[in-house]
Amino acid sequence: MTEEEAFRVVGLLRRAEVRGVVVSGGEPTLLPYLADLLAELSRPLPSGLPGPRVVLSTNGLAPLRTMERILPQLSWIALPLESADAEQHRLMRTGVAPHRARVLRLLEEVRTRHDRVQVKLGTVVTRLNLSGAPDVLDLIEDAWLPHVWKVYQMSETNYGADNRDWLSVGDQQFEDVVARCEKAAANRGIRLEVYRNSKRSGSYLFIDPDGQAVVIDDGQERRIGHLFQEPDMVAAGLRGAIDHTRNAGNFSGTYPDPTAEGAS
């Protein structure tokens, strides 16, 4: 996405007074303009309301000097950690060694030097990490623990459907892992959120780098039109495809407002 197009998207979201945005990818920290984009997105709205809660979903590989410019603009950062078993993690994060060590280093940095930024740790359950996924918290010292741990049932994108047969796990397999994760989270006092494929539809609205709006419908990604070139088509496509209550609950459950009463 070009810088101009990205700032157009931010302007639209701010005019609509969207309350929460996840900046994801690909890998967004590769964008040279990311810090400026996040600063614009997160500033107070013209109406006087606070800007949206901004989440950066990153693989955790950006140099710390890069993250120092980005972190002050964030409400949350989302980091991946796939298994307590080093080989299982390597199989799921190929080509980016030593990925796990660098994620843990960034987690330590955020928790010790940027306490305003909340941390969500994400673990995607596949056939490769069934045994090691529930133990990822064992890798983390108490002082560095995330605020939320979210465990995802593997769901392939339209671009990754060829991975379904050798990576996906059935509902019962997934629930067995979830039960172990629940015990691990309770033992460490961590809030656990669970992503089940059965709840996927109606929960997500994406804006792709080419400007296309994408929703999850019947478990599949569906493009509903170009955000700026086909606004009427996008508006029509959103009706019935997005459950606003589920969409808001999905965001707030994963990234709760730390200033709200009762938030952890």
What is the structure's pLDDT at 259? 74
Please check whether residue 262 lies inside any domain of the structure.
no
Which segments within 100-237 are labelled E, that is strand? 118-125, 148-153, 191-195, 205-207, 212-217, 220-226
Q: Which of 185, 172, 169 is nearest to 134 (CA)?
A: 185
- The answer to whether residue 38 is domain-embedded is yes
Asked whether residue 260 is assigned to any structural domain, the reply reads no
- The pair of three-digit structure tokens given for residue 257, joined into one six-digit string: 């407002």
Q: Which residues contact 72 (CB under 8 A, 6 or more apart)?
A: 114
Q: Are residues 106 and 217 in the same domain?
A: no
Same domain? 87 vs 45 = yes
> Which of the 8 DSSP states describes residue 228?
T
The structural domain count of the chain equals 2
Which of 88, 87, 212, 196 is closest to 151 using CA atoms?
A: 196
Peptide bond into 26 cis (omega under 30): yes
Q: Is residue 261 part of a domain?
A: no
Q: Are residues 61 and 164 in the same domain?
A: yes
Same domain, 150 and 229: no
Mark whether 132 and 237 lie in a shared domain.
no
176 lies in the same domain as 70: yes
Assess contact for 234 and 227: CB atoms under 8 A. yes
Amino acid symbol at 120: K
Number of Cβ within 10 Å of residue 180's Cβ equals 15
Q: Is residue 235 part of a domain?
A: yes
Place of tokens 């931010």: 10
Distances 220 to 25, 183, 198, 203 between C-alpha atoms, Å: 18, 31, 11, 12
Do 15 and 128 lie in one domain? The reply is yes
Q: Determine if the pTM surpasses 0.85.
A: yes
Q: 3-class SS at 257?
A: coil
CB 231 within 8 A of CB 246: no
- 179 lies in the same domain as 213: no
- Per-residue confidence (pLDDT) for residue 64, from 0 to 100: 92
Quick check: 118 and 258 in contact, CB under 8 A? Answer: yes
Task: Compute CA 246 distance to the chain's CA centroid, rounded to the nearest angstrom.
Answer: 16
Instruction: Answer yes or no: do 154 and 74 share one domain.
Output: yes
Query: Is residue 103 a contact partner of residue 64, using CB atoms and an 8 Å limit?
Result: no
In a domain, 259, yes or no: no
In a domain, 263, yes or no: no
Q: How far apart are CA 42 and CA 36, in angstroms?
A: 10
Same domain, 169 and 208: no
Pull the structure tokens for residue 152: 């995802």
Mean pLDDT, consecutive 10-residue segments, the chain of 264 residues? Answer: 92 93 93 96 93 96 94 97 95 83 95 95 96 98 97 78 82 96 98 89 88 86 92 91 88 86 47
The pLDDT value given to residue 164: 77
Q: Residue 134 falls within a domain, yes or no? A: yes
CATH number of the CATH domain containing 134: 3.20.20.70
Q: Which residue has the tokens 């569906």?
A: 222
Residues 180 and 212 in one domain: no
Sheet containing strand 191-195, strands side by side = 20-23, 53-57, 76-80, 118-125, 148-153, 191-195
Distance between CA atoms of 24 and 176, rounded to whole angstroms?
A: 29
**Range(s) of the domain holding residue 59:** 3-203+244-254
What is the SS3 assignment for 121-140? EEEEECCCCCCCHHHHHHHC
Residues 145 and 211 in one domain: no
Q: Is 209 helix (H, G, I), strand (E, B) or coil?
A: coil
